[in-house]
Structure 1
């Protein structure tokens, strides 16, 4: 049997057992103890963390169970995974950033020369673009871990009204438009709010929580409307095009035969402050029919802009 095949078989054997002796490997693969020790050295050289215990009851322990045995990919699968990682490069902060870079490097180096040439050519003709942000989110990994670990967190948060201390229970993190967001239950306001991760200045403390909350996936699917209000907007063709490029509006836009369209749906009144700047940007391509509060908000912002440029 080829050495590489034997080494792979032993790798899968020891990662499954986690604790083993040289004699167990010798018996399993019908090889000598001396050969077993050479294979163990080879496994350590490729990065498998093995701890040797001396003595009568000694043996070996794999220090982590996160080391996966090799997986065989087709060339097309490897290329697709490589470019999936490429789609993340425009984000300033990423969870597991070092690990992603390491996997990308290993994956590229594992490709045959022809596949590497193909990847290099594809790089020149494809991009998964997101706005390049220069804002760091240094606490991104921690907030993700607290979400997974079911922990309550006390944070310092920089909002529009200043720096506040918040007591929250994170649900998860997600990326949008080059920024990272954290839906979390705010214990003071007794509801789920959306926080910008880059605006979390520090973590004051954290503790295990007994409370059960929805997952991030459930939060995406569920938006409780406590103060329902009708949003009715007429859109030009350009308004339709732009609204369909905004995830918040995409599912609400109805396109008519002539290319114009409209939005007619129920939203929560608390979202008006979020959507007002979006409609201000649309200008004449979106005519608000209701609610009046949104019209008033647009007028106020337009007047403030006009005041800045009066002679």
Structure 2
């Protein structure tokens, strides 16, 4: 067995065991105590934090470390992981941006020459492109850490009404269309609201929280519950069908007729009307709202607002 293979086996053994003696390694791998000590020195030189305990009951302890033991990937697995990292390149800010760059560099450096050539060639033919936003999100990592540590925050937030102070409990963050969003429980309004992380101007203070809140995964599941169900019925032209099938918020609701036209007939939450109204306003004459009346009213007000800006000449 090669020395590299033996070192890897010992590394995996001691990383799992945490506390061990030289005799235990000697027995496990059928090697001499002297060879064990030499391998332990090699592992220490490689960066494994091993503490030697002196005395009759002495031995070795692998100190708590965030270093992971080597993981063996096939070439295809390594290439897949590398391009999974590449899909994040177009986000201006990430809560672990430095770590992604470091991991990508380590992974690429560990590839064999043939695998590197494959990655280099693929980068010229495939990309997970998203429009890169110029908006900075400097407090992204701090907000995520607050959610992980179950803390409440007092923040200065830039809203439509100006800069306001919010007392919130963040439940996580998620990325959509190049921007970062934070669902958080608003203690003043006593409900979960959605905030843009880039609009958080500062974190005034944080405080320990003893209450229990749902997390982001649970919130995503609960958003599909229609608390105020309302019927959405829309008639679509062929072009309306094409555009709605290209929109991730509408594509699952579209029914297509034999002539290529179609319709949407579904139950949504009333609270979504302001969110979906710009989608239908953009469709114009290619989408005719039948129900609900509230959505028709919203589109009428938007149209009147635009027309008031461009009065007809006498």
8 Å Cα contact 1:15/1:67 also seen in 2: no
Aligned to 1:83: 83
User: What SS class does the counterpart of residue 233 from structure 2 fall into?
Assistant: strand
Q: 1:20 to 1:254 in 2, by over 3 A?
A: same
Q: 1:8 to 1:207 in 2, by over 3 A?
A: same
User: In structure 2, how many angstroms separate the alpha carbons of the residues matched to 1:281 and 1:48?
Assistant: 58
Aligned to 1:136: 136
Moved more, 247-256 or 26-35: 26-35
How much does 1:91 deviate?
0.9
User: In structure 1, how many angstroms separate the alpha carbons of the residues matched to 2:54 and 2:156?
Assistant: 49
User: In structure 1, how many angstroms separate the alpha carbons of the residues matched to 2:45 and 2:261?
Assistant: 64
User: In structure 2, how many angstroms separate the alpha carbons of the residues matched to 1:258 and 1:234?
Assistant: 13
**In the TM superposition, what are the counterparts of 1:47-86 in structure 2 within 5 Å?**
47-51=47-51, 60-86=60-86
User: What SS class does the counterpart of residue 232 from structure 2 fall into?
Assistant: strand
Moved more, 22-31 or 295-304: 22-31
User: What SS class does the counterpart of residue 175 from structure 2 fall into?
Assistant: strand
User: In structure 1, how many angstroms separate the alpha carbons of the residues matched to 2:78 and 2:8?
Assistant: 20
Q: 1:173 to 1:245 in 2, by over 3 A?
A: farther
Aligned to 2:149: 149
8 Å Cα contact 2:49/2:65 also seen in 1: no
User: In structure 1, how many angstroms separate the alpha carbons of the residues matched to 2:44 and 2:155?
Assistant: 41
Q: 1:197 to 1:51 in 2, by over 3 A?
A: farther
TM-score, L = length of structure 1: 0.87
Unaligned regions of 5+ residues in structure 1, if any? Answer: none
User: In structure 1, how many angstroms separate the alpha carbons of the residues matched to 2:281 and 2:41?
Assistant: 65
Aligned to 1:259: 260
1:227-272: CA deviation from partner (whole Å, max 9, x where unpaired): 3332222222222232233332233222222222222223232222
Q: 1:166 to 1:54 in 2, by over 3 A?
A: farther
How much does 1:38 deviate?
4.0
Aligned to 1:190: 190
How much does 1:33 deviate?
5.6
How much does 1:146 deviate?
2.6
Alignment RMSD, CA only?
2.6
Aligned to 2:274: 273
Unaligned regions of 5+ residues in structure 2, if any? Answer: none
8 Å Cα contact 1:22/1:33 also seen in 2: yes
User: In structure 2, how many angstroms separate the alpha carbons of the residues matched to 1:150 and 1:159?
Assistant: 25
TM-score, L = length of structure 2: 0.87
8 Å Cα contact 1:276/1:297 also seen in 2: yes
**In the TM superposition, what are the counterparts of 1:124-273 in structure 2 within 5 Å?**
124-223=124-223, 224-273=225-274
User: In structure 2, how many angstroms separate the alpha carbons of the residues matched to 1:270 and 1:279?
Assistant: 16
How much does 1:4 deviate?
0.5
User: In structure 2, how many angstroms separate the alpha carbons of the residues matched to 1:21 and 1:32?
Assistant: 13
Q: 1:282 to 1:54 in 2, by over 3 A?
A: farther
